[in-house]
Every structure is written in structure tokens, then in C-alpha cells.
Structure 1
Amino acid sequence: EIFQAVQPGHTLLLDDGKFKLRVIDASDVRIDAEVMTSGVLGSRKGISLPDTVLPLGAMTENDRADVDYALSLGVAWVALSFVQRGEDVAEARKIARGRASVMAKIEKPSALNHLKEIIDLSDAIMVARGDLGVEMPVEKVPGLQKQITRAARNAGKPVVVATQMLESMIYSHAPTRAEVSDVATAVFEGADAIMLSAESAVGKFPVEAVETMDRVAMEVERDPLYEAIIHAQRIGPEATGADAISAAARTVAETLNLAAIICYTASGATSLRAARERPAQPILALTPIPATGRKLALVWGLHCVLTDDPRDLDDMVAKACRIAYQEGFALPGQRVIILAGVPLGTPGATNMLRIAFVGDGSEDY
């Protein structure tokens, strides 16, 4: 299929873009190309085709088997590489069958032509800057990072920024100043999560890399400019009751200077809507489903607690206040705002907002 898709004039990139070739002629069994950037090419190196839309799905038979095995182990997320169109995400969702959430990695130029469709079908988006920077001019990547992050944020989908964030820490105990600025920029732009790759997987200083990234992110979130930027990025809620209530919860929490926003959530939808609003208060997500708690761990501003469903509305309020106190989010006498769907436990039915005072949290949850 690759041989049939490549056309004269297309570019081939080998070994993460170190070698560039231009296709002169192509047939079903052979590609003739002119080497534009020469050097010594090692074995088992990857090939990228930035100008070619491949007539292939994003998943091979081996990928499907790997996903099935991962799902049997209870993974929370499946990250889909080299997504080109919405159909690729739909295929992965069909395999996952709700057992895990699907994250689309945006790393091919062709994906940008179908970005809205891909975002709509995905549970989260990853800005995979490594391969994106190989297949496109590197000077375009910063702008695309902002564009993809903003599009995912507007859709209320979590967005992860990844690749080479602290690359020098693979071999060095300290990052470069440019890397620190890069991490900070991703946080300022509103990313839900920032990700290490080789730094923690094969690097010599994995713990130091994680600690560095955490310190940079925490420092950015303390910066008054960060709050101003996040406030400027806010968009109006969608015309649904659940979105209107989530937006109202943020407004009420900030106006009354409440201690926290507490969401009862089964599917995670209520907490995702609350996080989309980027409130000044922390968000406490209460769920009886372990898989939901694991899924929400990468979402901006969320702290997940596993707890049984409340028996009734009074128990719901009492339990929320108790957990807020015991988890350190509120002191006795402070107020919190509670979001839930009634009837309790109905997925995606956020239709209730309530303000409550926190007691001494003497009972267990």
C-alpha cells in the first residue's frame, strides 16, 4: 500500500528526519528517490512520509492484538499513533468498546486537515511534537501546538503535550533553560498534562526529570499571569443543562470564594465539564468506579477519590463535605459547591448544584 500511495515529488524522511529523499519514480514494487541529505544509515530505522496520505488504518493486526491484551490488564488509556482521519479513531473505539479511553496522537500533517473530526471522536488529544516536527518544518510546530491545544480545550477534551520536553536530562541532571521555558509554555497554554518520554523511560536521571517538570508546572500555576491567561481562554458553555451548571458552579465558587468544587461522577463527564471551566478552586472528583478515577488522573485540576455512591441527597452532601475535609481541600466552617446528577449514579446527567458548609469530618467515607 505504501508503494502505491507514494507519488513522484513526495518526500521520504529516514531515521527521525536525519535523512531526506525526494521520490523520482514509484511503482507497486519499487521507489526510486534522490538523496537530498546524505550520511550513514543504520539498520532498522523508521521512515516517515510527510506528503503521503497512506491508504491504511492507524492499527495493524498486531496493534489490535496488543490493545486487546492491554485492555485485559485494565489500562485506562489507549494512545493511538499516526492518526490521519476520524475513521482511525472510530476503529480504535470499536476495539476498546468502552473498556478504556482513546487518546489520538496528532503527529501527521494529514491529521490537521481532519482535526475537528478527530477531536470530536477522541477522549483526549496528544500533541506528539517529535514526529510532527519530523514530517513538517520545525518552525511550524510551536504554532500548531497552540492551535491543537486550543481546539481540544474548546471541545472540552483533555490535551497532553509531549516529546523532548526535557531531552537533555536523558544524560544531564539539570535541564537547559530553553527546555524549562518549553515546559512552562505548555502549561501557560492550558495543557491538561505534560509528558516525559525517554527522559524517564531510559534516561540516567528519571526521578530528577519528573521533579523538575513538577516544579516548573507548579511555579507557572502560581504566577498571576497564568490565571489571567486561563481566564482569557475561557469560552461560553454549550447549550446544555450540564454545561450551564458546570459554568455556573465555577462562577459561584469564584464569586463566593468557596474552598472547592466537588463532583460526583460515574462516567467522568461531570468532572470533565468542571475542568473545562478552569476554575480557581480545586476540583474533587468522587466516583465509585476505579477505572473512572484512573482515567481522570490526567485531567487538569482534578483530584480523584474512590468512594461508594451516596444513599440519598443528604448522604451525598455529608459525604462530599467529609471527604473535602479529610483530603485537605476544606476546613470546618468553609463552604464547597457540589455537582451531581439526579437520580444519583446516572452517567452524564449533571443537573444539580448545591452549596454546603464543611463540618469536622469526623466520620469515615
Structure 2
Amino acid sequence: IPCGWLGKGGSALTSLSQGSSLSLSLSPLPTLVRRRIHPGWSSFPPSGRIPGLYSSARPSPAEDPAMRHKMQRGAIPALVMISYANACVALSFRASSVHPPPAWIVPARLLAPHRLEAAHLLQHNRARYQGRRSSLKPLLATSSTPPPRDGPWLGPGYAPKGVDAVGPCSPLDARLPVDKTGKRWCKHTKQIATVGPSCSTEDMIDKLFVAGVDVFRLNFSHGSHEEKRKVVELIRRVEQKYRHTIGILADLQGPKLRIWCFAEDYVFVHQGQKFRLDLEVDALGDVTRVALPHPEILQTLRKDDLILLDDGKVRLIVTETDLRGEWVDTQVQVGGKLSDRKGVNTPSIIIPISPLTIKDRSDLAAALDMGVDWVALSFVQKPSDMVELRQLVGERAFVMAKIEKPSAVERLDDIIALSDGVMVARGDLGVELMHEDVPILQRSIIDKCRRRGCPVVVATQMLESMITSPIPTRAEVNDVATALYLGADAIMLSAESAAGEYPIESVEMQCKIINRVEGSENFFPRMQSRASSESVLVSGHNPHILNMQEPEQQHLAYDSITSAAMLLADRLQAKAMIVFTTTGGTAVRASRIRPSIPVIAMVQEKWLGRRLSLYWGIYPAYVDIDTGATDAPASNDFDALMARACSIAWDQGFAHAPEDLFVVTAGLPFGVKGAANVIRIVPAAGPESWLLPSTQVMQKGHVS
């Protein structure tokens, strides 16, 4: 039986007496399955025993002749599938067995009253065992009393009528989540990958998502609208397949300035020589001049201003300007090779041009029509650039400012206040500023974004060597880790995934670094200590997510509730924080204080879940409220809503046992923006399963 035979969550154990212990040898399993069982395990226990399923009081097959005889005659199957924390695990016995029993048996000890719906009985005959997929059917039980401790396990007689007639995929298969996404909640920092020629097929997008990508970036500097639309459709198809939110970031080219063409393929300019830039596009360039078809630059430049060509490889100093702004003469400070349409940077001036070119406006309209979740603007110079972008975007997407100009660094606080997110674009930032300034600016930008509750992305050359190499340099690994320790919400791959030879390996490497750093002893205490010392809890707020019209005292109350929920979760060792949110504000507040457990954001709209996918530690899930569905809880039934949330969190593998705890925070009444005012502690099995002290009462099976 192949490892993935049971697929999506049936429990199937052997027909031994309850509590028996078996010595098992483990079949090779993917890392992601091991992570689903327990995030701290790098491998299974050497004994082969999984805690909670077997008791060491009983002898192993090697020590018990009767049990060994059963295995030899085929009474015990050679391969057992166990659903543990909603992950299928293949275990093979050391003794050989070739004859399966007539039915798989469900152990009674796993059928706690509050998790009866999680147990399933799998019926199959030998024909199915030889190759056909078996079907799953919920095991319906009418009694809430578990079987006796030493009684027999449930057998074929408990099967509902018609179980054998179920098709190859039962309704349960369609409802339960896919196991491959379970490892995601183990990491808090999000991953962004750029889609390009190396990964534009559905199969590659699928593999990148499974490897760890949370948000896909579409670079509108390259490719047609039709190509981008096809990629969006493929991403949404993968999202539907795994029933897991995936964000899409549209990156606009911005006012990228370039020189014109040369008569030859290239020219060399030498240090000290004169070189002219003019508006004569009809005349091809040579070693003494080239056209610069941007009159706004020529009109703005002044003597001694610096001009950078080809990402700073060639540096020019302005020596003379034309009063009419038709040309400038320069002296070559650093010489080099120049060819057609190389980029131009002017770090010392603010160019009076619109932040959105005609191409950008066309790309923006197409991106919004495709339904992207984030829009990033390149070469932001001043706060008014973000105002113009937001006026065009409206409420159809979140907006992100790419910080890559010195003028943007000078007005950083104002730009952050007008943005939903910020990207540290270290490529052009390192061109227009000194290289040694970039690490300092990266730290400063991240710190300011943390104080404002604004998500920040670190990008460019994070694993540059993996474009052509299957492994990164040690310096690159350290660079990624540094971004995590500084508090970045997300890290991004550009050419590594878009045009590199090892896109999947690059994503997997980033994921490994994230898991290792976040698993280190001092990571979360350091994050939470910085949040406290920087007064993140009660300082700046993003006005486009949080309700800025409310008084500061009201913000203090909401932030204090979120902080108290995190402290309570830490004290109780809860498995996750469940946050009911209408606009994302409550979830964002929780993300800002960097909890050590996942933040499950229960949202009603897909667009909101996709946008929240970029935030640190937030994992969106959908919950139906007042949708008209027969099983949808009413918005005023808080217990029913918590039960639904616990069920979703359980199905997605956030808890390992029914008694695991969730800390729930919400605002009552529902639908009020930013009104977080309730904290509840709920077991993973749901609020109705809580074992109350004798001083409390039960009414109609619910907590009163």
C-alpha cells in the first residue's frame, strides 16, 4: 500500500487488543509528514512507538509468542496507516505478513466523545487491497460513552449501511484539508517568490507552493498581460486544490529611466573623458554622447550632480548644463562598458515626474482586473506618490511602497503612514546609496515599519548564487537569517525563482533557514522583547487597516486585549490564537507583537484572507456566518462560531490532541471594525467539550 494511500485523514489500526504495544520499523517518510506529526521531531522515536497511541506496559511482538504467531499467519497486516494530528503515517511491522485482514479496525481509545466525528472505518476487500482506492466514510456513533477500556476494538459490525457502495472519493475526502499544507504553520515569516520563465507552469507553481511560498510576485517589467493572466489563473487553481490562501503581488515597473541606443553594440568610456547626454534620439550614440529621452532629468540636473549608468557601473559628474534643458555635459568619474537602454539613476535629485508611467497605468488596470491582492510601486520618491497610487487602486488591493531612492528614505515615516506594506528593495537602493549604508538602512526601515504595524519585505539578492548553484553561499544564509532576526514579515526571491536553474531548491532553502532560526532558543523572546521595548503595542497604527478615527485610549484598550491574549497563550502553552476579524485589524495587532504560536485569522471574505497571507504569523481561514447554509452558525451565536473555528483549526493540524488549547479573541458584536473585546480559552475539541468544575453548570450541552 503506498504511503499516500489513505490520502486525507482516515484512522486505520490493527485489530489488536486495546493498549497493546508494537515494535515498528518506519518506512521512509517525507519531511513535511514528520512536521505534521510534531513540529519538534526531526525523525521518529527509535523505538517506533508514537506517544499517545501505544503503551509500553504490553510486550512487543518479539517478546510475545502469541502476537508473533498472529503476525506470521497474517492476522496482522504488514502495513498500517495511522491518522495522527491529521497526517497519514505509514508503519510496517518487522515480521513479514502478506495477507490483509478483512477489515481495518478503529481503536476505541481514540474515540473520545468530543471527537467521534474524527474517527472513520475503512472497509475493503482483497480486490481493492490489490490496487483500487478504498473509500472512507464517517463512523456515526449514537452513544457519547466510550467503549470499556479493556473491551474489543470496533469491528466491521459497526460499519454504517452502504459503506461498501461509497465511491472512490467520499464526501469526507473533499472536506478535509490536504496534508501537504500542514507544515506551513510551523513557520511565521512568510515567503514571496517571483514567477518567471523558470516557474510559470502549473506543476512548478504547485511545487513552489508546497515548498513554502505564501505569496507569488508578478513582475510587470517583463511579459505581457496575457501571460500574467494565465499565471494568476494557475495560482488560483493551486489555491483551490489545496484549499489554502495564496496572495498575489503585482510589482509595477515605475519610472525606470534609460539611455537610448548606440550605433555600435557597445562603447567603452574612460575615466576623465567628457560625455554628453542630450535629447537627440534620432542620432545614435557613440563614445562621446548618447541620447537621454527624459527632458525632465536634463532640466533638473545641476553642476556637480551625480549620474549613475548601468546600476552604478559607470559614474558621471555634471560639469555644465544647458539653460533650455536640452543637454548636459559630464565628466566620467568611473569608466566602463555601455550598451543600449542601460538604466539611469540620479541619487542627488528628486525628478519631477509622475510615479506612474503610461505603461504602469495600463499594467495596474490589468492587474486589478486579474484580482491581485497587493500592488507594489517602484521608485517611490515622496509621500504623494503613494497617495496617487491609492487613489487609482481604491479598496481593490493593498498598496506597497518599494524603498529604493534616497529621497524616499528621507520621507520614510510619511510614506509608511500612507502604505499597507513596505519593501526594502536593496538592488536600486544599493545603487543610489553607498553599499555600506544599505545594512543600516535595512534595519532602520524594518524598525520603523514594526512601530507602525506595517508589514515589511526584504528583497533582492537574498540567495543570488542559487540562480546557477544548487546551494547558497554561507554569507547568503546569514543574510536571510539577519532579516529574520531584524523582524521582517516576509523575505523575497527575485531572479532565483523567476529565471534561476533551481527555483524549488531556493524556496526550500529559505524555508529551512526560517525554520531553523525561528526554532532557535532566543528567537521569540527576542522578538517579543523588541516589541515591548519599542512600544509596538500602543504606538503607531496603520490607518488603512486599523480605525484611526478612534481615540488613542480606544487603541490602547484593543492593543492591551491582544497583548493579554498572547501572554495568556504563552502561559497556557496554547497551540494557536484564533482571531475573528472583519477587516483584518485584530489579526494585524496580534502579528505586530510577534506571538510564538500561529495566529489563525477567521475571515469571511477570500480577498481579505489572501491579503493577510503576507503578514508575519497569520494563517487565514474562512468561516461562514449568516450565509444561509444549513450548517452556518448565526453571527450572534458565539459558541457555535468558536466550535466552527476549532473544527477548522483541528482539520488543518494546529492541534495534536482534543485537550490542546486555543486562545480565542474577537469583538462583540461581530462586524464592528477593530472592536476586539473578548478573550476565551477553548479546547481543540470545541467549547462544548470543556470539562467544567462542579461549581459551573451545563445548559443544553453548552457552556453557560
Cα deviation code 1:280-299 (max 9, x no counterpart): 11111111111111111111
Report the alpha carbon displacement of residue 325 of structure 1 after superposing the two structures with TM.
1.4
For 1:342, the equivalent position in structure 2 comes to 668
Partner of 1:348, secondary structure, is coil
Which residue identity does 2:344 align to in structure 1? I
The equivalences for 1:96-111 within 5 A come to 96-111=393-408
Deviation string for 1:45-81 (max 9, x for gaps)? Answer: 1111111111123212321221111001100000111
Tell me whether 298-307 or 76-85 shows the greater mean CA deviation. Answer: 298-307
Q: Comparing 173-182 with 299-308, which one deviates more in the overlay? A: 299-308
Kept after mapping to 2: 8 A contact 1:320/1:338: no
CA distance in 2, matches of 1:63, 1:283: 35
Q: Is residue 269 from structure 1 mapped to residue 585 from structure 2 by the alignment? A: yes
Q: Does 1:354 align with 2:680?
A: yes
2:527 to 230, 237, 240: 230
How do 1:38-187 and structure 2 match up within 5 A?
38-187=335-484
Alignment of 1:7 onto 2:311 = no
Query: Match of 1:320?
Result: 645
Counterpart of 1:245, as a letter, is I
Task: Name the counterpart of 2:549.
Answer: none
- Aligned-pair identity in percent equals 46
More displaced, 261-270 or 274-283?
261-270
Closer/same/farther in 2, CA of residues 245 and 271 from structure 1, 3 Å limit: same
The answer for the alignment partner of 1:35 in structure 2 is 332
Once the 2 structures are TM-superposed, how far is the Cα of residue 255 of structure 1 from its aligned partner?
A: 2.0
Q: CA deviation at 1:316?
A: 1.7
The one of the two structures with greater contact order (alpha-carbon pairs below 8 A, sep at least 6) is 2
- Gap runs ≥5 in structure 1: none
Structure 2 unpaired stretches of 5+: 1-295, 539-551, 626-632, 689-704
For the residues of structure 1 that align with 2:669 and 2:611, how far apart are their CA atoms? 23
Question: For residue 207 of structure 1, what is the aligned residue in structure 2?
Answer: 504
Q: CA deviation at 1:5?
A: 1.7
Determine whether 1:302 maps to 2:597: no
For 1:99 and 1:349, locate their aligned partners in 2 and report how far apart those are by CA, in whole Å. Answer: 23
Residue type at the aligned position of 2:437: K
Letter in 2 for 1:209: S
Bigger radius of gyration among the two:
2
* Residue pair 2:642, 2:687 contacting (<8 A) in 1 also: no
Q: What is the TM-score when the length of structure 1 is the normalising length?
A: 0.96
Q: How far apart, CA to CA, are the structure 2 residues paired with 1:278 and 1:338?
A: 16
Q: Work out whether 1:282 is the aligned partner of 2:282.
A: no
Distance 1:246 1:361 in 2: 20
Once the 2 structures are TM-superposed, how far is the Cα of residue 352 of structure 1 from its aligned partner?
Answer: 2.3
Report the alpha carbon displacement of residue 347 of structure 1 after superposing the two structures with TM: 3.2
Alpha-carbon distance between aligned partners in 2 of 1:5 and 1:265, rounded to the nearest angstrom: 48
Give the corresponding residue for 2:193: none
Deviation of the 1:219 alpha carbon: 0.6
SS class of match (1:249): helix
Deviation at residue 231 of structure 1 after TM alignment: 2.3
Q: Deviation of residue 222 (structure 1)? A: 0.5
| Partners of 1:151 and 1:136 in 2: CA distance | 19
Inter-CA distance 328–361: structure 2 relative to 1 (3 Å threshold): farther
Mapped to 1, the partners of 2:377 and 2:300 lie a distance apart of 22
The answer on whether the counterparts of 1:325 and 1:360 sit within 8 Å (CA) in structure 2 is no
| Shift of residue 125, structure 1, vs aligned partner | 0.7
- In structure 2, what is the equivalent of residue 255 of structure 1? 571
Deviations 1:143-168 (A, max 9, x none): 11000001101111111000000111
Counterpart CA distance in 1 for 2:321 and 2:582 is: 53
Secondary structure of the residue that 1:172 maps to in structure 2?
Answer: coil
Distance verdict in 2 for CA 1:220–1:92, change over 3 Å: same
The answer as to whether partners of 2:446 and 2:487 remain within 8 angstroms in 1 is yes
Q: CA deviation at 1:360?
A: 6.9
AA of the residue aligned to 1:200:
S
Distance 2:559 2:381 in 1: 30
Offset of 1:353 from its aligned partner?
A: 2.0
Query: Alignment length, in residue pairs?
Result: 362
Residue 151 of structure 1: SS of its match in structure 2? helix
**Residues in 2 aligned to 1:247 and 1:59: alpha-carbon distance in whole angstroms:** 40
Please state how far the C-alpha of 1:129 moved relative to its aligned partner. 0.5
